[in-house]
Structure 1
Amino acid sequence: MSSNVPTKRKVSERRQIQCRNNQRRYREQARNYMNLLERQVTELQHETARLEGHVDTWKSTLKYRLLRSSHSNDLERVREYWQVMATGYATQDPSYAARQIALIKNLMTEDVDLVGSHGIQKFIEQRQQYAYTFQSIHKAPYTFEVIPINQEEHIIRSTGSLILGVNEETIRVICPQIISNQRLVSRLVGQKLLCPLQMTFYMSDNGHGSKAYRLETSLDFTSGLLGLLGNLMDVVEVMNGAHINGSGEIMNTRTIPIVPAPSLPAAPYMISKRIYRQMQCRNNRRKYRAEAKAHLEMLEHSVEHLTKETVRLEGHLESLSLAVM
């Protein structure tokens, strides 16, 4: 009596060889494309740095004397903010903390727009949260620039760096999803992140003195991680689910206890070791593909961003060149 169950056709050896060759060719193409993107990112970073140097040179040639401008008082207050907040909020020194709060209230309106949130109290709470989250804080300014809008309004753009000391509390609050990854935790705890920081104050005179009615902050936390870890895949793992946004706002204030890394579960009794190993391999391949995709997307985004930045700087450089001539 013949069985009605269809038999699985055995794949020919020639077909298997073709599949392996196709997979090998695909992996080679993907690897070449990723290498190309990495080279483009490096070249664009160098080109951007070169153009930024030219822009700074032309600005020096044009002698931008910001301190002598009509907005020198506001510029000095922004500069003072960087100095007074150089080591973060003074949680251990109430008198100095009172000075910091007074300076902030003198610089910003009560309902200042923080892009995504608002209010001077929210801003102060974030400064306090930073003090409790990071082991150490050091803020260093690089440049200050005044950009007039009209007679009543102007922008003060300040750039610098924020050096953040990482401890266990940092991991709990910022990236609790990697708590079980002892390799990453050990590489981060006790180290310092050098993060580019830009603060743009939109100033307006309401008749009682000029204050910032809007503050745009950009903190490049990712660059700080990349400089420390040196590996994009590790950076992706840390930032995937991190409780900090592009403006540097800490989104999570809860303390999450660190738990030891779970051990690899043994193969279930009812599943053979061979099948269990196959399942592990499939999961590993799936994880690798997801990480490779995230890496690729990050590189493509970097190329796009740096290309736009290069075009912007070239236009800025051309305008400055014409102004000098």
Structure 2
Amino acid sequence: MPPATAFPVTTAPPPRGNARGPLRRPKRAAAIANQHTLRLEDQVHALTRDTAKLEGQIETLRMMAPPAAAAMPHAGISIAREYWTLFQHGYAVDDPPLAASQAALCHRVLATDVRVMSGRGPAKLLEQWMRWASFFHVVRKDLHAIDVVAASAVVRSVGTLVLSVSHDTIEHVFPHLKVDAPLVTRLVGRDFVATSHVDLYMDSDGRRVDRFDWHVDLMSALATLLGSFGDAAEVLGRGSRLELSTCEITSPCRLEAAPPPPPCRATETSPKSSALHML
């Protein structure tokens, strides 16, 4: 056999460039990370110092500032709550002590020239109270919510009124219905529930009422009672002596003057009277 051929053994040439690069990269990355950490620590220390300075300034300002006054309830909210409570069962025509307390509230919280419906003054509101008391039977008025609106100048209270139509209601408020006996029969003696809200416009001091607005959704209430908006519109339409936009009764019937306010003293409420008013 011929002898095996011998092949020369060669070795791969060393890589070009820096042969120590792979070994130096971890060290370089570690150095960069260390520098970044040091910078972050310096920033943390700086923020800590700034925070301490600000906290010191806050404490100084707190010590220099006068103590904050205790939060006081809005006067209009108290007035609205007292109003709904005192007149929960209406205006007490036949209960002089309670009527005097109600009149006293009116004179105490309303400005002397308060705007009420188409007139001015507490006497106008008392006069309308008496008309509602004389011409409607009022079962109950319930307060549901009180809110301060319009930059704390207006206090709105929302609730419901439970009313009953009587023959006096037909005679003095809806006289045009006397020719419609079937509709009168469907109304007299029946109760209905109406949504109502009272807006108290407070004076510049926020202590007394400059304007008293009262709204009752009689249309929806009567439509629910009678089952028809057409019938409700007939009741409240032409010939009615109740102004829907202001809830003012314009009956020509004259009533006795409301009682004057009693001398300044603690007011006490009496049991609900038989003659009531719902405003």
> Any conservation in 2 of the 1:131–1:137 contact (CA below 8 Å)?
no
Question: 1:69: Cα distance to partner?
Answer: 5.7
Q: Which residue of 2 aligns with 1:183?
A: 182
> Any conservation in 2 of the 1:160–1:198 contact (CA below 8 Å)?
yes
Matches of 1:148 and 1:232, distance apart in 2: 33
Identity of aligned residues (%): 30
> Any conservation in 1 of the 2:76–2:200 contact (CA below 8 Å)?
no
> Larger % of helix: which?
1
Question: 1:182: Cα distance to partner?
Answer: 1.1
Q: TM-score, normalised by structure 2?
A: 0.61
Does 2:243 match 1:245?
A: yes
Q: Which residue of 2 aligns with 1:220?
A: 217
Matches of 1:253 and 1:160, distance apart in 2: 29
Structure 1 spans left out of the alignment, 5+ residues: 1-67, 256-325
Aligned Cα root-mean-square deviation (Å): 1.9
Alignment of 1:1-325 (within 5 A): 70-147=72-149, 149=151, 154-206=153-205, 210-241=207-238, 242-246=240-244, 247-254=246-253
One-letter amino acid of the structure 2 residue matched with residue 220 of structure 1: D
Q: Which residue of 1 aligns with 2:39?
A: none
Q: Deviations over 1:127-149 (max 9, x none)?
A: 01111101234211111001253
Question: 1:193: Cα distance to partner?
Answer: 2.2
Q: TM-score, normalised by structure 1?
A: 0.53
- Residues 243 and 227 of structure 1: is their aligned pair in 2 closer, same or farther, counting only changes over 3 Å? same
Q: Deviations over 1:143-194 (max 9, x none)?
A: 1001253xxx621111111111111001111111011211101100000121
Structure 2 spans left out of the alignment, 5+ residues: 1-69, 255-279
Q: Which residue of 1 aligns with 2:59?
A: none
Matches of 2:186 and 2:117, distance apart in 1: 33
3-state SS of the aligned residue for 2:219?
helix
- Higher Cα Rg: structure 1 or 2? 2
- Residues 250 and 69 of structure 1: is their aligned pair in 2 closer, same or farther, counting only changes over 3 Å? farther
> Any conservation in 2 of the 1:164–1:194 contact (CA below 8 Å)?
yes
- Residues 137 and 127 of structure 1: is their aligned pair in 2 closer, same or farther, counting only changes over 3 Å? farther
3-state SS of the aligned residue for 2:242?
coil
3-state SS of the aligned residue for 2:198?
strand
Matches of 1:229 and 1:186, distance apart in 2: 11
3-state SS of the aligned residue for 2:248?
coil
3-state SS of the aligned residue for 2:171?
helix
3-state SS of the aligned residue for 2:208?
strand
- Residues 141 and 69 of structure 1: is their aligned pair in 2 closer, same or farther, counting only changes over 3 Å? farther
Q: Which residue of 2 aligns with 1:291?
A: none
One-letter amino acid of the structure 2 residue matched with residue 92 of structure 1: D
3-state SS of the aligned residue for 2:76?
helix
> Any conservation in 2 of the 1:78–1:107 contact (CA below 8 Å)?
no
Q: Which has the higher contact order (CA 8 A, sep 6+)?
A: 2
